[in-house]
A and B are shown apart, each in its own frame.
Chain A
Amino acid sequence: MNYGELNQWFLREQQWALLLILAAPLAGALFSYCTISLGPRRQMLAGWIAVCAAFVSFAVSVCFWLFLDWSAEGGAANSGVFLFPWIAAGGLHLDAALKLDSLSLTMILTVTGVGTLIHLYAIGYMAHDHSKPRFFSYFNLFLFFMLLLVLADNLGLMFVGWEGVGLCSYLLIGFWHQQMPNARAGQKAFVVNRIGDAGFLLGMFLLAAEVGSLDFDAVQDQIAYLNPWAIEAACMLLLLGAVGKSAQIPLFVWLPDAMAGPTPVSALIHAATMVTAGVYMIVRLSPLYNAAPAVQFIILALGSLTALLAASIALVQYDIKKVLAYSTVSQLGYMFMALGAGAYSYAMFHLVTHAFFKGLLFMAAGAVITGCRHEQDMRRFGGLWSPMWGTFIAYLAGTYAIAGLPLGSGAYSKEAILWAVYTAPDTAAGLTLFNLVSWGGLFWGIGLAVAFLTACYMTRSLVLTFFGSYRGEGEASESSATMLVAMAVLIPPAMFFGHSRGIPLLESLRPWARQDLLLSQSELMRDDLYRALEHIALFAAGAGVVLMLLAYSIGRGFMMRLGNCIPERINPLCCKWWVDELYEYLIVRPLAFTARVLFFAVDRKLIDRSIDLSAEIAGASGQMLGLLHTGRIGHYLLIMLAGLFFGAAFWLVF
């Protein structure tokens, strides 16, 4: 069979291929769980089953990429498959139907590609764990739900994936559930996400009521006929869902805690894929969001504030995974900034590059953690570059990319976003801040500050972990081969992906993106403003790196004094701006108090007691009446006479 025939054959069978993308991880989840009946040594099979399943999905996705014509003018190829009607009631119909277009293809390539590598990595990471079948089963199940989320052709089915990945996240954060904090973190993630999901549900109801359907195509066709307020409201409600899933203000608090899960989980779910689902959802609904300028402005503001807040907290964290977690929140903030600026393709671009370099960084961090006997405190690392140079190279590459240094993938996507934000039209009624700076300029300034901070905290973590002298106990050792291979494969894309400044696949997003967005490299390079902003951003990143290198080499004493001058207890950065405490005292405790009042005061005392009381009154009055029945004729006669007397008196008087 030559290439042409293969191509034809694939096109004919593409519906089955699309199903296979979903079916492989689902089957993998089932089969890898089945290995639980094997002996502890043979349970390693679970990992390989899971890797194979993920790889099958990846391979089929690549086939779709190769064999379908994605460059077609005026609407690239797409593929779809209708499975069965899922919920149909009174005109509302949600179908189990899949849809593959250039946007979802970009996403599944990223998810399955990075996913396969992290599965491979997990084989090494979980080598000494006793619950491998459970772990890999959850891991594959996550992949299934994530792909379902991406491939769904309507919001309802997307919600299935949306909640499904939330479930897997819950299960995997609390994977080592003997430790109560892990279980608590998982629960927190689920509940906080559920708050967002409630908004998602209401948004779906609004759209279903206004449009009559939740199919993405139908929604898009109907936009012109919808009430402007309905669009704004639907976008706002769905945004609540995205804010929960993608850990933005005000619902970001679950993500740092989610680091309680095994590191492959943090890499795949809480960095590369699941947390970007909110971004993906908004891009998927970009025609709708384009018609909601007020919500776009809110997204821009939320994204930039989140990016700044999280980057500032990352600066003082000592737990290496917490640094990366806050960094993820911050980078997601960048993606939201792009969404708010209407630059959906840039958001997707950053999503992809972030998946690569943050996946890589987490894998390297995990390798450090296992190499140092499950130590996560960077104060106990140091000088690790020589015992684990492979890991060091991976972490270095990731840091280079995320910091936005020249020619790194992060630089391209970040600069594109900053440019889009700077040139964003003043969405909120043309307001400018004190007539001095446009909103675009203000948010660009925040974005620039975040770029600087990103370079700072990443360099700090790199220096504390790999340079200087080793401060931990025992010997640090390099990780197993599978982990190193997985990292090595991811280094090139993390470093260099994005030299074309954008993903050709995303050209198809153009009709809904801002018309002035530039997508190709040549266009961008001709733009003077872009080049100016690019240089400023590169300078900010370089300044951050140099500053931190200086600070941790010659300025060590100064850093110590700086750290000591504000006690940790009142340092807003160390206390994470007291957001958790705010929720604890404003929401959780009042709610728990209300629940107690409802139970003890209303339910037990008021309702139940009054019912018991009425029963007691009935009983008591029965007893009182019973007292009359003494059984003596004399008493009865007396009562009868009294009755006659009073009756006669009554009759006489009235």
Chain B
Amino acid sequence: MPFDIDLAGSLLTVLVGLPLAGALIVFLMPQSRENAAQWVAVSFSLAELCLGVLLLVRFQAYLPGYQFTQHIDWMPELGIAYRVGVDGLSVLLIVLTSLLSALVVIAAPSVREKRGAYLGCLLFLEAGMVGVFCALDLVLFYVFWEAMLIPMYLLIGIWGGERRVYAALKFVLFTAIGSLLMLAAIIYLGYRYEQQFGMPSFYLSDWSALQLGLREEVLLFGAFALAFAIKIPVVPLHSWLPDAHVEAPAGGSVILAGVLLKMGLYGLIRFCVPVFPEACAGAGPLFVVLGVIGIVFGALVAWVQDDVKKLVAYSSISHLGFCVLGFGVFNVWGLKGAMLQMLNHGISTGALFFLVGVLYDRAHSRRIADFGGLAQKMPLFAFVFLSVSLSSIALPLTNGFVGEFLILFGAYRFQPYAAVAAVSGVVLGAVYMLSAYRRLMFGDFMAPNGAQIHDLNRREKIVFVPLLALVLVIGVYPQPVLDLLRLPAQQTISQLSTEGRNPPEVNILGDEERIIEKGRN
């Protein structure tokens, strides 16, 4: 196959390769040249961000199927190929990844030791994450998926807190158990494909044609779903998350919460739905129940945390519960809402972990009880914290509201009681977030001994400006983002409904929506 080198064709490859190159350069630079490494990393990550934005701009939201696809044979005799491509959902997640990575790299100077290696890990991680979001070949996906683990393991294990080794090991073991099952399932599916079609293939679009027995399908789906559920994390499988977050450095937490947690749901939508539509449709109610449990459990447990980082970690579980709920209801509102909420959670929880990092930087403590009245000494910090908290508790005109509203409406359409149960998360979210905010920011000023309390510096301001802008822009005018998500959501539903589980109203309403919008324009 000849190389087809045009911009559109290889943009995704450049997006994967650029941070990888950056990582190599940074790793090869001498330890002592930390500032130079910083500059290299910043320029690479900003270039990546620009390319991500370019991808977003050039992406045609109204065309179905994958765009910017590229296909290079890798191991032809095994049917394994380098196949990448994006749809609306992956574009958004890639932009989110490049944005958060750039911000983490910009904020890196707060890391005191081995900064060069830290930056290298971040860039390497970024390459893996972008790869996960654009891989269309299951083996390629698995390679990126596992490749991400290494830098994350190092980030937690080297630059983490006191129990970093325990947390890093726990994180890796949890993920590995799930992903080994997934690997087995991937190999088995490739084998089945060869049985049925005479040649092996690991290409996602080929696999939709697979004929699987029900028992087979459920087992394979279980293997995939377990890997993804651990990553999300769905409630009984979540216990790696608080430890990993608490021990990880601020930047690691941002990436972990902002991007890595999205991969579970992304995997479910991208791979499980087209390959196992029947099993997925059958498991919908299970996801709804698990989602609601996650919402309530995460919110209640977050409420009693004394460590602000743990609080944010459990709030992530609650928010991801909303995403799981939106996924499980399998209607256009729930799915759009879940996809949007993946993006929103990346923005708001990413920002929250940055904020916790700012606090830890100054006081070397994360205990809520150690602080008080910070709003007096750090007004800007308090303002940013408030805005992000409001986004997190889904106040209208912040991005969080749009996603939660759609998810809850989707849940209502699926089963009103699910919405009634999930809406308690709206109240509990306000309870834990505002009481944490009150204890940190209000009352008499208080900080641990030796804390250097000063307001946000210039570097930190640079980090928060784009995040706050996104919170507001997506909250006020979410339509462009929703437009990007329309086709992915509809595609997911049509994939599910081919198996006889057809919600006819969705298609009709979808048409009506277009007509209405045409009328307006």
Contact = CB atoms under 8 A, between A and B. Distances in A.
Given A190-B430, A205-B409, A598-B300, A85 B517 contact: yes
Interface in A137-185: 156, 159-160, 163-164, 167, 170, 174, 177-180, 182-184
B149 to A, nearest CB: 18
Contacts of B435: 187
A198 B434 CA distance: 17
Contacts of B331: 90
A197 interface: yes
B301 A202 contact: no
Contacts of B173: 615
B509 A90 contact: yes
B479 A90 contact: no
A201 B408 contact: yes
A177 B375 CA distance: 9
B427 A205 contact: no
Contacts of A598: 297, 300-301
A474 interface: no
B332 A90 contact: yes
B478 interface: yes
A328 B96 CA distance: 48
Given A91-B510, A92-B509, A202-B420, 9 more contacts: A88-B479, A89-B332, A90-B489, A178-B444, A190-B430, A205-B413, A209-B413, A599-B304, A607-B236
Interface string A67-105: 000000000000000101111111111000000000000
A302 to B, nearest CB: 20
Contacts of B486: 89
A178 B443 contact: yes
Interface in B155-204: 170, 173
A167 B475 CA distance: 15
B482 interface: yes
A400 to B, nearest CB: 40
A591 B301 CA distance: 11
23 contacts: A85-B517, A87-B405, A87-B406, A88-B482, A89-B332, A89-B333, A89-B337, A93-B516, A163-B395, A163-B396, A167-B390, A167-B395, A178-B443, A180-B438, A190-B430, A191-B431, A201-B408, A202-B412, A205-B416, A208-B409, A603-B239, A607-B238, A607-B239
A198 to B, nearest CB: 5
A198 B423 contact: yes
B477 interface: yes
B509 A592 contact: no
B334 to A, nearest CB: 9
A202 B422 CA distance: 10
B239 A87 contact: no
A180 B443 contact: yes
Contact of B442 (A164, A177, A206, A615): A177
Nearest to A596: B304
Nearest to B482: A89
Chain A: interface secondary structure?
Answer: helix
Given A92-B333, A205-B412, A607-B239, A174 B506 contact: no
A623 to B, nearest CB: 17
Nearest to B423: A198
Nearest to A599: B301
How big is chain A's contact interface, by range? 35 or more
A437 interface: no
A595 B333 CA distance: 31
A190 B301 CA distance: 20
Contacts of B300: 591, 594-595, 598-599
B397 A164 contact: yes
B438 A202 contact: no
Interface string B473-513: 00011110010001001000000000000000110111011
B108 interface: no
Nearest to A82: B520
Nearest to A94: B405
B373 interface: yes
A93 B413 CA distance: 15
B119 interface: no
A197 B512 CA distance: 30
Interface string B314-357: 00000000000000000111001100000000000000000000
B304 A595 contact: yes
B303 interface: yes
Interface of B: 170, 173, 236, 238-239, 297, 300-301, 303-305, 331-333, 336-337, 373, 375-376, 390, 395-397, 401-402, 405-406, 408-409, 412-413, 416, 419-420, 423-424, 426-427, 430-431, 434-435, 438, 441-444, 476-479, 482, 486, 489, 505-506, 508-510, 512-513, 516-517, 520
Nearest to A595: B300
Interface string A478-496: 0000000000000000000
B509 A91 contact: yes
Nearest to A183: B442
Contacts of B478: 86-87
A194 B506 contact: no
B302 to A, nearest CB: 9
B434 A84 contact: no
A159 B396 contact: yes
A343 to B, nearest CB: 31
B397 A205 contact: no
Contacts of A156: 405
A164 B396 CA distance: 7
Interface in A201-224: 201-202, 205-206, 208-209
Given A89-B332, A191-B434, A160 B397 contact: yes
B239 A608 contact: yes
A594 B299 CA distance: 12
A178 B442 contact: yes
Contacts of B239: 603, 607-608, 611
A595 B303 contact: yes
B513 A198 contact: no
A93 B479 CA distance: 11
Contact of A187 (B332, B438, B510): B438
Contacts of A195: 427
A603 B173 CA distance: 19
Contacts of B482: 87-89
Nearest to B478: A87
A206 B412 contact: yes
A611 B434 CA distance: 32
A194 B482 CA distance: 26
Contacts of B336: 89-90
B429 to A, nearest CB: 8
Contact of B513 (A93, A177, A183): A93
Contacts of A202: 412, 416, 419-420, 423
B347 to A, nearest CB: 17
Nearest to A182: B442
A177 B443 contact: yes
A183 B332 contact: no
B516 to A, nearest CB: 6
A462 B479 CA distance: 55
Contacts of A206: 412, 416
A599 B307 CA distance: 13
A615 B177 CA distance: 12
Which residue among B336, B409, B479, B505 has the maximum number of chain A CB atoms within 10 Å of its CB?
B409
Contacts of B397: 160, 164
Contacts of A177: 373, 375, 441-443
A91 B513 contact: yes
B408 A178 contact: no
A280 to B, nearest CB: 17
A64 B240 CA distance: 61
A590 to B, nearest CB: 11
Contacts of A163: 395-396, 401
A607 B434 CA distance: 28
A138 B443 CA distance: 20
A599 B317 CA distance: 13
A85 B483 CA distance: 12
A184 B303 CA distance: 15
A592 B303 contact: yes
